Structure 1
Amino acid sequence: MSTSITLVSHQLCPYVQRAAIALTEKQVPFERLYVDLGNKPDWFKALSPLGKVPVLKVDNDGSQAPLFESAVILEYLEETQGEPLHPDDPLERAAHRGWIAFGSTILNDIGRLYSVPQATMFNDVITLLRDRFQRLETELGEGPYFDGERFSLVDAVFGPVFRYFDVFDPIHPLGIFTHTPKVVAWRAALAERPSIRTAVTEHYETLLQEFLKARGSYLSLLMQ
């Protein structure tokens, strides 16, 4: 049976990056199809009931099965492809799913950081993010990855999280990682991982900067 996989993407979406990282780590050939979320075509609306990316188009000998929501896509890849990225032990696997959800919460916090209009609100989100990463600091071991030597789906989730700060750091000193040396080392290890580096296009940072400037937020003002 012949199977082809297409990852319907947006260039800035961290949830798309998760899927791309997992596919690359599992050595699964795939194509990327980019969509303009500001002008969604009808074919995309038909594939994605929520109007969001990623969508994974799985074509089995002409029979298509589009999957939406990154968590669903990651679990499907775990069930159907080699190179497992979840732990074998059910309890550890469940714990990793919890930390994946924690990573999604941090992404929501980051969305607030680049959207809030006032300095006070901005600083409140920085404090919240500092607390989030301090909690992660207590969870990390010797590294280099979340679960030690083995790269996992938790790493696939946090690679895109840390990528935001590569753009934020030159704009304004946030001080979020000042007291988290293990998190800093983890961030550095993920930045060197080929699957994470290739999960975005070469224009990612420029596109993100343009997106942030157009938000009309407090962070946008800091970029002027």
Structure 2
Amino acid sequence: MQPLELISFKLCPFVQRSVITLLHKKIPFNIQYIELDNPPDWFLAISPLGKVPVLKAEGQILFESAVINEYLDEITPPSLHPATAIRKAHNRAWIEFGSNLLISQYLLATAKTPEAVETQQNDVLAKLTILERELNHTPYFNGENLSLVDTAFAPIFMRTALLSRYLSIDIYQKTPKVRTWANALLAVEAVQQSVVTNFPELFIDFLKKSNSYLVQ
């Protein structure tokens, strides 16, 4: 297979979802990083939404991480989705929930006042409580095998690990099953290798430049 071309931003959690899938399934790919605050014209010309990730594959341009991951999964068996239609739909629904949790986490990380931090922290905690009720398997979302739900949530857990040192509470205190799942995913080699080597420094530096109250 000709290596796929993934266009990325070094801190984007949605891109990271696709990188985890590519690495776990051992799909040959090249990655090109751009600056989202100053995207090149060639990128804007090919990205309908002006966002990453964008994947160049088979002469086509694919966008949106969930769509890209579905494509990657379909071209390289075995599938990272459950076998039945209802379980696939169930997993896709929780991937969407993960996208909403990522947004809540971003709003917490970039909150600029103590009041905003408290509001967004409560929102994240509420979503983690909902997630806790859904987790019935170990070590991963569906059990023994990594799935696309896992690749969708791993970026959240990686950022939570970095943010935890700045939070006044243990974010997983009331969600032990989420904690166990997070620890399992952070131990996966494909997850560990899915970001640039200086990701922690870049992430905290981004928060400082965003005037995040947490890292002041």
Question: 2:20 matched to which residue of 1?
Answer: 21
Q: Is the 8 A contact 2:164 2:171 kept in 1?
A: no
Residue 110 (structure 1) shift: 1.0
Residue 119 (structure 1) shift: 1.1
Question: 1:77 matched to which residue of 2?
Answer: 72
| Aligned counterparts, 1:10-159, within 5 A | 10-58=9-57, 60=58, 64-159=59-154
What is the distance in 2 between the residues matched to 1:5 and 1:156?
18
| Aligned counterparts, 1:210-221, within 5 A | 210-219=205-214
What is the distance in 1 between the residues matched to 2:62 and 2:156?
23
User: Deviation per CA, 1:117-170, whole angstroms, max 9, x where unpaired?
Assistant: 221221111111111111111111240101111110110011000111121111
Q: Which amino acid aligns with 2:2?
A: T
1:168 counterpart (163, 172, 177): 163
Query: 1:7 is paired with a residue of what secondary structure?
Result: strand
What is the distance in 2 between the residues matched to 1:79 and 1:34?
25
Aligned length: 216
Q: Which runs of 4+ in 1 moved over 3 A?
A: none
For the aligned residue pairs, the C-alpha RMSD in angstroms reads 1.3
Q: Which amino acid aligns with 1:70?
A: S
Query: 2:5 is paired with a residue of what secondary structure?
Result: strand
Residue 173 (structure 1) shift: 2.8
What is the distance in 1 between the residues matched to 2:81 and 2:169?
32
1:202 counterpart (190, 197, 204): 197
User: Deviation per CA, 1:65-123, whole angstroms, max 9, x where unpaired?
Assistant: 11111121112112222231111100000000000000000011012112322212211
Identical aligned pairs, as a percentage?
Answer: 40
For structure 2, list consecutive stretches of 5 or more residues without a partner in the other structure. Answer: none
What is the distance in 2 between the residues matched to 1:34 and 1:46?
16
Q: Which amino acid aligns with 1:126?
A: Q
Q: Is the 8 A contact 1:26 1:84 kept in 2?
A: no
Residue 217 (structure 1) shift: 3.1
Question: 2:2 matched to which residue of 1?
Answer: 3
Residue 16 (structure 1) shift: 0.4
Q: Which amino acid aligns with 2:85?
A: P
For structure 1, list consecutive stretches of 5 or more residues without a partner in the other structure. Answer: none
- 1:191 equivalent to 2:195? Answer no
What is the distance in 2 between the residues matched to 1:188 and 1:115?
24
